[in-house]
Amino acid sequence: MTQSTRPSCHKVFPVSVLLFALLTACGGGDDSPAPPVSVPFTNGAATTANPVAYWNRIAADTINQPATPAAGTPEERRPHGQVDLATTHVAIYDAVISIAGTHMPFAASPTTDPAGASQEAAVAAAAYGVLKSLFPNRSTQYQSAYDSHVASIPDGSAKTRGLAVGAEVATKVVALRANDGRSTVVNYTPGTAPGQFRGVNPVNSFAPYIKPFTLTSASQFRLPPPLALGSSAYAADLAEVQALGGATSTQRTAAQLEAARFHTENPAVFLARNYRSFAMDSQSIADNARLMAMLWVTEGDTNIACFESKYFHNYWRPQSAIPLADTDGNAATTADATWTPVVPTPNHPEYPAAHMCQNGAAAAVLKSFFGTDQVSFSFSSTATNTVRDYATPDDMVKEIELARIVGGMHFRNSGVQGGVLGANVANWIVANHFKPKQ
């Protein structure tokens, strides 16, 4: 990896109503998209040769395995994969970009003079500083990774200054994210009326109370209500998931079921491992720092906004709606008391689909960063132990929309609206943050 040497330029223009409204393109004075991008498949592997990807791996392995801290004692704070990765990458970005000088800072600037500082050293110090503050019980793990990485960086004033820049920025970012609302205790009462979610002790009910990174509030992009139970659109959506997503359905194909199962891995683990591939070895440290910060800040705010809409609307899942269809007041729906989904349903409200929120947001960020929708890549899943290839981010999003129906977990409208929410958050962030210096 090298320090940033290539200039960045941005032209913003509308391209897609559903997934993004802002596309950043670098070119020679016209509005043509950038050349296609082929992202090498890494399956989450990363070494210190690519410091941004390496510290993303260290962070993700920590954040997504909270039950096994090195000290063997419980964590002192409730982890949130997207938000904690965003915090880590904000510090990395702000430290690196203060040295590169190409883009505006996101949250914090160092008082330490960044001139001539090592970007690699800044990455290590920024990530280490954030992680040891967020998860002090894992300090031994972080210290080992930090010492090993820092030892590989040539000694000198550049290294010393880079470490100072990273450490200072980390301290400032951690302070800005202190008391972010995640400790909020939510007393949830399951619904009993038609259309209401019926889960007991649902997960992520605290997410709407986390302080967003960029949004004016968690409800800034709250979605309109889900489909009315008496509508023809609702009847059509229910019939679709009833036919395709049941445990004994014969109407879906084997390929459709494979795709549905592929996307059932723990989302926090799945996204962290697979998104890491976009921090390519061929890109500069500064570019990787910016892309990872854009992705994870967007994912963090999208998750907050998505679950705000989920718990505000509190909509029932197909696993309740289909057996109880005789209570929905819609003559076009048919109840089936024996119907169960082919894939276990997550324990949180149905609307909107979180997978579509998160991946719709990521698709918009990727197209903005690379300046083209022709970004090909591959993702892996431990749920199926397979790898799937995608010609574009939109192809992935379309696959997920159907996969959540075939899995019996979601109505189609929930997927569509989840994509809208994700794109809204991504567009907001692209329009207001990570912009080049004028």
- Strand, helix or coil at 381? strand
> By the 8 A CB rule, do 3 and 99 touch?
yes
Find, among 261, 84, 249, 44, the residue nearest to 173 by Cα: 84
For residue 37, what are the β-bridge partners? 375
Asked whether the predicted pLDDT for residue 282 surpasses 50, the reply is yes
Judge whether residue 24 has pLDDT over 70: no
Q: DSSP letter at 17?
A: T
Q: What letter would DSSP give residue 278?
A: G
Residue 253 DSSP class:
-
Q: 239 phi and psi, to 5 degrees?
A: -60, -35
Nearest to 296 by CA among 426, 205, 401: 426
- Whether residue 72 has pLDDT greater than 90: no
pLDDT averaged over every residue in the chain:
92
| Structure confidence by residue, pLDDT tens digits, 103-154 | 999 999 999 999 999 999 999 999 999 999 999 888 888 999 999 999 999 9
Q: Could you tell me the two tokens for 124?
A: 């290590």
Q: Give me the pLDDT at residue 30, please.
A: 52
Q: Report the number of secondary-structure helices (H) and strands (E) in the chain.
A: 13, 5
Per the DSSP assignment, residues forming a β-bridge with 380 are 387
Confidence of residue 160 (pLDDT cuts 50, 70, 90): very high
Q: What is the DSSP string of 31-90?
A: -PPPPPEEPPP-TT---TTSHHHHHHHHHHHHHT-TT--TTSS--SS---HHHHHHHHHH
Residue 122 near residue 165, CB atoms below 8 Å? yes
Task: Report, as an integer, the average pLDDT of 78-89.
Answer: 93
Coil, strand or helix: which one is 246?
A: strand
Tell me the pLDDT band of 4, cut-offs 50, 70 and 90: very low
* Residue 352: cis peptide before it, omega within 30 degrees of 0: yes
DSSP 113-178: --TT--HHHHHHHHHHHHHHHH-GGGHHHHHHHHHHHHHTSPPSHHHHHHHHHHHHHHHHHHHHTT
The residues facing 388 across adjacent strands are 379
Q: In terms of CATH, what superfamily is 230-432?
A: Vanadium-containing Chloroperoxidase, domain 2 (1.10.606.10)
Return all residues near 183 (Cβ < 8 A) that are at least 6 apart: 77, 78, 206
Of the listed ranges 21-25, 284-288, 372-376, the one predicted with least confidence: 21-25
Strand order, beta sheet including 37-38: 37-38, 375-381, 386-390
pLDDT at 11 over 60: no
Alpha carbons within 13 A on the beta-carbon side of 372 = 14
Query: Taking a C-beta distance cutoff of 8 angstroms, is the pair 122, 72 a contact?
Result: no
What confidence tier does 203 reach under pLDDT thresholds 50, 70, 90? very high
* pLDDT at residue 436 tops 50: yes
Q: What is the pLDDT of residue 118?
A: 99
Helix (H) / strand (E) containing 318 = helix 318-321
Q: Which residue in 335, 294, 313 sits closest to 225, CA to CA?
A: 313
- Cα→Cα distances 271→300, 355, 372, 380, 392, Å: 12, 10, 21, 10, 16
